[in-house]
Amino acid sequence: MNEEMRKENRSIWVTIGISAGVALLVSLLVTAAFNIPSLLGLFNRPVPQFEGMTLAEAQKVSQKYRMVLKLAGEESSELDEGVIISQNPEAGTRIKRGEPVSVVISSGKPTVSIPDLKGFDLVHATEMLQAAGLFVEDVVSEHDSVDEDLIIGTSPSAGQRVEKGSMITLYVSLGPSEIDVPKVTGKRLSDAKKILEDKGFTIGDIRYEVTTEYYQGIIMRQAPAAGQKAAKGSEVDLVVAGVLR
C-alpha cells in the first residue's frame, strides 16, 4: 500500500512538473513573440502627424514613440518660422523603431527687397511694388527739391527686406517749397553768400556795375527781390557795386 502511494505521489509530481514546464515554455514563447521583434528592430508603428508642430513639439512626440527626428532643412513658407512644413515618411506610414523621420521647417514668410522708386511717378512706382509682391498702404505728399508728383522715398526705405505682401508708404513730392527770399542788398558779397545759403538759396549770376552810390563790393540789387517767394534751393542773382578802372 505504501509502495502504491509512493508511486501515485511520484506520478502526481511528475504531472505537476510537466504542466509547470509546459506553462513556463508557453510563457517564454509568448514573451519572445512580443520582445524578440522589438529587440531586432522589427516592431513598427505609424508615424505621427508632425506637420504643423514646432520642432520642439515634434521632438517631444518622437521621443515618446521612440522615433528619430532628423532635420532635413529649412524653406520659406506662409507658416511661422520654426514650424514643420513637411515630413518624410508621411503621417500614418508604419516604420521600424529607430528609423528616422525627416522634417523640413519653415524659415518664415518669403521676403523681398523694396525697390528704389525715387524719381518715378506714382503709377509706375505702384506697378513696380506690385511686381515685387508689395502693396501701397498710403501716399504722403511733401515738399522736396524733386519735381512735383515724383516719388521722393518710401517707408520702409529702399533696399530693406520685408515679407512678401507687406504694405509700403510712398512719399510724393509737391515740388520745392517756396519761402521768403532774404534781403542781401547793402551787404558785402561774402556776407550775402552766407545769408542766402543759410536760408536754403544759392547765388546765381553775379554782375558788377560802376556806381558812386555804393562802396565797392556791396550788393546793389538782387533778383528775386527781398520778401518775394521762391523755391528753396533756387538761385538769387546779384548786382555788385564796382569801380571805374
- pLDDT at residue 238 greater than cutoff 80: yes
245 vs 235: CA distance, rounded Å: 29
The 10s digit of each residue's pLDDT in 61-79 is 988 888 889 998 888 777 8
245 vs 243: CA distance, rounded Å: 6
The 10s digit of each residue's pLDDT in 217-229 is 999 999 999 999 9
Q: Do domains 44-106 and 113-173 have the same CATH topology?
A: yes
Q: Could you tell me the strand order of the sheet in which 135-142 lies?
A: 135-142, 167-173, 151-155
236 vs 78: CA distance, rounded Å: 57
CATH T-level topology, domain 44-106: Trypsin Inhibitor V; Chain A (3.30.10)
- pLDDT at residue 243 greater than cutoff 80: no
User: Which class is domain 178-242?
Assistant: alpha beta
The 10s digit of each residue's pLDDT in 94-147 is 988 888 999 999 988 888 999 999 999 999 999 999 999 999 998 988 877 788
Query: Are 201 and 234 spatial neighbours (Cβ–Cβ below 8 Å)?
Result: yes
Q: What are the grid coordinates assigned to 164, written together?
A: 512678401
Domain segments of the chain: what residues? Answer: 1-40, 44-106, 113-173, 178-242
Percent of the chain surpassing pLDDT 70: 81
Query: pTM of the full predicted structure?
Result: 0.46
Give pLDDT, residue 40: 46
- CATH number for the domain whose boundaries are 113-173: 3.30.10.20
127 vs 136: CA distance, rounded Å: 10
- pLDDT at residue 240 greater than cutoff 90: yes
Greater model confidence, 39 or 161: 161
The 10s digit of each residue's pLDDT in 44-63 is 789 999 999 998 999 999 88
Give pLDDT, residue 17: 59
